[in-house]
Amino acid sequence: MPNQPAPLVVFDLDGTLADTAPDLIGTLNVLLAREGLPTMPTHEAGALIGAGARALISRGFAAAGRELLPERLDALFEDFLVHYGENICVGTRLFPGVVAAMDALSADGFRLAVCTNKIERHSVALLERLAIADRFAAICGRDTFPWFKPDPRHLTLTIEAAGGDPARTVMIGDSLTDIATAKAARVPVVAVPFGYSDRPVAEYEPDILIDHFDELHGAIARMMRAAA
């Protein structure tokens, strides 16, 4: 079909493209320490990260024994955004194989996009610092649209913004949030097990589970052939 849009791969960001836990948990720990509460180890990121900064703060404070009233959470959220924005790429690194996988997909005619519950300006800033922002046709964060994951409209509007078609799109994620979003949008989903999930991500039944980004291009090719 001459007017058929290019196939699209939509990536989650935190725990999928990049290991952002050092800087996210680091910022949370600044807030906890300021309140005289015990800090959180980075290895507990799976139970905390994935639903955005407000949820991260709420979960972190609850784990440290402090419930937050809405107005206090609002104030801490603003403090979090400032500190994290100033320390967004101190310990954060791309996961092994990400750049090579994107190279292979782009060479095969795929467009790329990001759909994340990180706010848009932080998403763009981080991807710029990681030197991959210009690879994406769209970078859509928690505040880009009125809806965010797991609402499927976050994904479908990201696909639209990237000039894609849901019928020719694959989602890549690391958590129940990503898998539930993709399934609700009727988009096939590939999961990675090295991100932030409170349970083994295979339990959430993604269409395909890969252990390394070296496997991504082949997995997507198989999915596209099966859907053709």
Do 155 and 116 share a domain, yes or no?
A: yes
Do 116 and 173 share a domain, yes or no?
A: yes
- In this predicted structure, the answer to whether residue 228 has a pLDDT above a threshold of 70 is no
Do 166 and 106 share a domain, yes or no?
A: yes
CB 212 within 8 A of CB 96: yes
Do 132 and 172 share a domain, yes or no?
A: yes
Residue 1 lies in a domain: no
pLDDT digits (tens, 9 = 90+) for 101-130: 999 999 999 999 999 999 999 999 999 999
Do 26 and 101 share a domain, yes or no?
A: no
Mean pLDDT computed over 7-21? 96
Residue 29 lies in a domain: yes
How far apart CA 175 and CA 49 sit, in angstroms, is 10
How far apart CA 186 and CA 110 sit, in angstroms, is 19
Query: Domain with 149 in it: what CATH number?
Result: 3.40.50.1000
pLDDT digits (tens, 9 = 90+) for 57-95: 998 888 888 888 889 999 999 999 999 999 999 999 999
Do 129 and 204 share a domain, yes or no?
A: yes
Which structural domain range is residue 33 located in? 21-86
Mean pLDDT computed over 188-197? 95
Q: What is the mean pLDDT of the chain?
A: 93
pLDDT digits (tens, 9 = 90+) for 19-55: 999 999 999 999 999 989 988 888 877 777 767 788 8
Do 117 and 174 share a domain, yes or no?
A: yes
Do 144 and 179 share a domain, yes or no?
A: yes
Residue 82 lies in a domain: yes
Do 98 and 187 share a domain, yes or no?
A: yes
**Residue 134 appears among annotated catalytic residues:** no
Do 141 and 56 share a domain, yes or no?
A: no
Give pLDDT, residue 48: 78
CB 134 within 8 A of CB 111: no
Task: Name the catalytic one among 12, 19, 23, 207.
Answer: 12
Query: Domain with 62 in it: what CATH number?
Result: 1.10.150.240
**Number of domains within the chain:** 2
Give pLDDT, residue 194: 94
Give pLDDT, residue 1: 47
Give pLDDT, residue 41: 86
Do 82 and 109 share a domain, yes or no?
A: no
pLDDT band (50, 70, 90) for residue 2: low
Residue 111's DSSP bridge partners are 8
pLDDT band (50, 70, 90) for residue 160: very high
Residue 2 lies in a domain: no
Mean pLDDT computed over 130-135? 98
End position of a domain, from candidates 62, 86, 110: 86
Do 15 and 25 share a domain, yes or no?
A: no
Q: Which two tokens stand for residue 91?
A: 């310990």
